[in-house]
Structures are given as structure tokens and as C-alpha cells.
Structure 1
Amino acid sequence: MRMTDRDLEGWTVLFDLDGTLVDSAPDLIGTLNRLLVEEGLPPVEMEAASTLIGSGARALLVHGFEAAGADVERARSEALFERFLVDYAGHIADGSRAFEGVVDTLERLKARGAVLAVATNKRSDLSELLLEKLRLRHHFAAVVGPDRVSARKPSGAHLVEAVRTAGGDPARAIMVGDAAPDAQAARDAGMACILTTFGYTPVPVEDLGGDVLIDAFEDVEEAIDGLLADFYVSRALRG
């Protein structure tokens, strides 16, 4: 069978976390709403806030305060941000779940020889905690948040350094994400990019410039095969 051929040996596949591997909106918005209620403000609707998840906790807090017509300067305070992180760490996997097909797909890619890593703008310790809680951490050679690189997504440096941390070659790497920072970082790093249509993005995913769009995580493997076919054809044509 193909999955035992090790035909992905030498390739690294990078994954964004929130909105790509894991549907983490329930717990992120849950933390946001608990803090808003503590501040005497109304909670936000899940759908309204979920597209901001890729922008981080600070953007979520600002959105919550803006939606309530409250002073956004309070939303930007370090004390509130720290409260957000503490609450979130305590509820990080209450409702969050891996998207359907994630485990099987990761296992197949590893069986074919690919090195897998996570490149996320979520802090590394929180990312690892979430992956451990969901029993996904062992699939990845590295989990690389913004605190472990010289520049975060959308900088390509994040992806390049993540690949190297995992022991891979940045010239043979593919990014799988769901939002603009993923697509921009891949473009900056000269990597191909697969984008999910089920993630968290305020901009239509069709407008982000990904090389391939997928509607289900199970489609990642086929998308990778297509990109690699193009890679080897182009290399052959260059002689």
C-alpha cells in the first residue's frame, strides 16, 4: 500500500493549530465570555467572535468590549490579558476537539515518512497543553509558538524556524492552515500552502491565496500528493 512506501521521506508538513487541527472556539469564546461577565458586560455570540481566533486573545477581548460599547482600553490591559490566559489554561479542552479525520490523516502521513510539526501563533505552552489533553502531541516532532521563533506568522521566519526545529528542510515543506497569517507566512517562506475552508478567518478563504483549498481534513493527504506531483514535475522540467 502507498502508506507504507515512505514516499514522503524528507518532507515536513506544518500545521496551524486553532481552526486547522482543532476546533478550539468553544473554549476560547467560553473564556472570553466568563471574563466579560466578570466585567459586567454581556457575552458575545460564538459565530461573531470565532473568526477572530486567529488574531489572538487580545483581539478577542477588544471585540468583546467593542460589542458591549465599553472602553476598549480596559480590554487592552495586561492584567485582563493574564486573567484570560489563566482561565483559558484551566478550561483549554472542555469543549475543544480535533476536527474529524485529523488522527487518521496524521498517522498516514507519518507512516509515509513525513515529519509533522505545529506552527501556531498560540503560545507554545498552551499549544502543547491543548495537544496533550486531546492526545495529539505525540504526532508532532515540534510545537512551535511565537515565543520559540524570531518572528511570528505572518512572517515566513516562523515557518522556516519551525521546520528546522523539527529537523526538516524548509525547501521541502508544506503549510496547512486556515487564515491569512498562514497563507502570508507560507508565501513569505516560499512554501506551498493548503487552506481549510472550515477554520476561523474573517476574510473569505478563497481570497487568501492558498495553493489548495480543502473542505475536510481528510483531504489533506490528497492535496499534499497533488502539490508534490507539481514539485517533481517542475524540477524535472528545470533539468
Structure 2
Amino acid sequence: MSQRDLEGWTIAFDLDGTLVDSAPDLIGTLNRLLVAEGLPPRPLEAARHLVGHGAMALLKDGFAEAGAEWNDEGGKVLFDAFIADYIANIAVDTRPFPSCVEVLDRLSARGATLCVATNKRTDLSLALLDALELTNRFAAIVGPDAVSAKKPDGAHIREAVLKAGGDPAKAIMVGDSTTDTGAAANAPVPCILVSFGYSDVPMAQMGGDITIDHYDEFEDALDKLIA
């Protein structure tokens, strides 16, 4: 490969379940709220699939799986409590997936523009990436509040790429869920799917162009897509 062979390409990454393993802290916050309401906590492995669709969805689905009825009036109070607890514990156990940071640095060295297109609120995404010292690796970090329509609408990817200064015609999405593969198809852009994320949909039904099991496989997958 040439030294700057990715010049002009923009790679958009999902956040939770794609760049970082944030489930321990998100489920930790959920469990503290469940216990405070007299409900049983959810085991981490049984609740990982709840992550990736935004805080309100995590809260609603988590309470439903714990056997609680949801009402919107009480839900607003719970949501505010969830956000406050999560911000206070945003990077206790959350870490980038193995080899992720090294891959990001190599992609930048090859000339690629990197951005984040996530259904996590922009302020929470920035807080997490700041805590992990990853923010400066991305030209734009774009949550659902910063776009006209969130994933799986393709507008989320297109607008994130534009905010990063890139061209949506030369963009690739990286994600771990049907929300990501759907957004990529609707953009339309190619999609690299990671198998180590939070979706409970079988890999064969996920869509995407190439699936990787570890970030060590990422650059080979990317080069195949571009070729």
C-alpha cells in the first residue's frame, strides 16, 4: 500500500459495540436504577443486546426485561437519573476493543478521515471519548441530536461524513448492528460489520459487505472493499 492510499476516503464508525466495549458501564447504570426500584439487576451477558440503540431504548427495554411496566411520566425521571449516573461512571470499565486504537492511527497515517456516527447522544459520546483520550482521532463525532434523522436512516451517515469534511460518495460505515447495516444500505455506502458487538441478530442476517472478528482483520477488509 502507498503511504497515503486512503486520501479522500472517510470511515464512519459506530461507537458502542464497535469502537468501545461500553456495555459494562451502561448495564451498570441500568442495574443501579433497577435495584433502586426494587427490581432484579440484569446479568451483563444477558443484557449486552440492549446496548446500541440509545439511552432511552436501553432504559425501557431493560426495565421491561426485568418485569417492570413502563410509563412515560415516571420514565422521564428515570431517564434523567440514568443520564446523571452514567455520566458519573462513563469510563469505569469501558475500553476500546483490542487493536482498535492502533488501527485508527494507521488509518489516519494512510490519509483516511475518521468520524463517529452513533445513536448515543453527542454530549455523552464526547464525554466518553474524552475520558478514553480518543476524541482527537475523529474529525467529527455525530450523535442523533446533530443530524436530520438518526440511524438506520442513511442521512445520519451522510451528514456525519459531511461534518467531517468528507465526501459521502467515498465513505464506508463500520458497525455492529442492523441499525448500522441498515443505515449503510440507505446511505448508500459499503459496510464493515464487527462480530464482537452487541446485536443478538445472527451474523448471517445482519447484512453488511464484510464481517470481521477482530480489529487485526480490519485493514484487509477495508482494502478489499475499496479495491
2:28 is matched with: 30
SS of residue matched to 1:171: helix
Are 1:65 and 1:75, in contact at CA under 8 Å, matched by a contact in 2? no
Query: In the alignment, residue 72 of structure 1 is paired with which amino acid?
Result: W
Query: In the alignment, residue 52 of structure 1 is paired with which amino acid?
Result: L
Matches within 5 A, 1:148-227: 148-227=146-225
Find the aligned partners of 1:37 and 1:45 in 2 and give their Cα distance: 13
SS of residue matched to 2:172: strand
Find the aligned partners of 1:117 and 1:127 in 2 and give their Cα distance: 12
1:91 is matched with: 89
- Per the TM alignment, residue 75 of structure 1 is displaced from its structure 2 partner at its CA by 9.0
TM-score using structure 2 length:
0.96
Are 2:31 and 2:41, in contact at CA under 8 Å, matched by a contact in 1? yes
Q: Which moved more, 1:214-223 or 1:179-188?
A: 214-223
Find the aligned partners of 2:175 and 2:62 in 1 and give their Cα distance: 25
1:106 is matched with: 104
- Aligned CA RMSD, in angstroms, stands at 1.3
SS of residue matched to 2:105: helix
Find the aligned partners of 2:120 and 2:176 in 1 and give their Cα distance: 14
Find the aligned partners of 1:68 and 1:43 in 2 and give their Cα distance: 7
- Per the TM alignment, residue 58 of structure 1 is displaced from its structure 2 partner at its CA by 2.2
Find the aligned partners of 1:146 and 1:5 in 2 and give their Cα distance: 34
Are 1:154 and 1:181, in contact at CA under 8 Å, matched by a contact in 2? yes
Query: In the alignment, residue 190 of structure 2 is paired with which amino acid?
Result: A
Are 1:14 and 1:174, in contact at CA under 8 Å, matched by a contact in 2? yes
SS of residue matched to 2:52: helix
In 2 relative to 1, CA 19–76 (structure 1 residues): closer, same or farther, beyond 3 Å?
farther
Find the aligned partners of 2:48 and 2:55 in 1 and give their Cα distance: 11
Find the aligned partners of 2:91 and 2:61 in 1 and give their Cα distance: 23
Query: In the alignment, residue 78 of structure 2 is paired with which amino acid?
Result: L
- Alignment coverage as a number of residue pairs: 227
Instruction: Please give the per-residue CA displacement for 1:131-157, whole angstroms capped at 9, x wherever unaligned.
Output: 111111111000000011000000000
- Per the TM alignment, residue 5 of structure 1 is displaced from its structure 2 partner at its CA by 1.4
**Unaligned 5+ residue runs, structure 2?**
none
Find the aligned partners of 1:213 and 1:169 in 2 and give their Cα distance: 24
Are 1:66 and 1:72, in contact at CA under 8 Å, matched by a contact in 2? yes
In 2 relative to 1, CA 214–76 (structure 1 residues): closer, same or farther, beyond 3 Å?
farther
Query: In the alignment, residue 220 of structure 2 is paired with which amino acid?
Result: E
In 2 relative to 1, CA 8–87 (structure 1 residues): closer, same or farther, beyond 3 Å?
same
TM-score using structure 1 length:
0.92
Find the aligned partners of 1:190 and 1:72 in 2 and give their Cα distance: 36
Instruction: Please give the per-residue CA displacement for 1:199-238, whole angstroms capped at 9, x wherever unaligned.
Output: 0102112211110000001211111100010xxxxxxxxx
In 2 relative to 1, CA 59–75 (structure 1 residues): closer, same or farther, beyond 3 Å?
farther
Find the aligned partners of 1:154 and 1:107 in 2 and give their Cα distance: 27
Are 1:62 and 1:75, in contact at CA under 8 Å, matched by a contact in 2? no
Are 1:43 and 1:64, in contact at CA under 8 Å, matched by a contact in 2? no
Find the aligned partners of 2:74 and 2:48 in 1 and give their Cα distance: 19
Find the aligned partners of 2:43 and 2:73 in 1 and give their Cα distance: 18
- Per the TM alignment, residue 191 of structure 1 is displaced from its structure 2 partner at its CA by 0.1
SS of residue matched to 2:47: helix
Q: Taking every aligned residue pair, what percent have the same amino acid on both sides? A: 59
- Per the TM alignment, residue 66 of structure 1 is displaced from its structure 2 partner at its CA by 2.3
Matches within 5 A, 1:59-74: 59-73=57-71
Find the aligned partners of 1:160 and 1:34 in 2 and give their Cα distance: 37
In 2 relative to 1, CA 33–228 (structure 1 residues): closer, same or farther, beyond 3 Å?
same
Find the aligned partners of 2:73 and 2:213 in 1 and give their Cα distance: 34
2:53 is matched with: 55
Instruction: Please give the per-residue CA displacement for 1:159-195, whole angstroms capped at 9, x wherever unaligned.
Output: 0000000000000000000001100000000100000
**Unaligned 5+ residue runs, structure 1?**
230-239
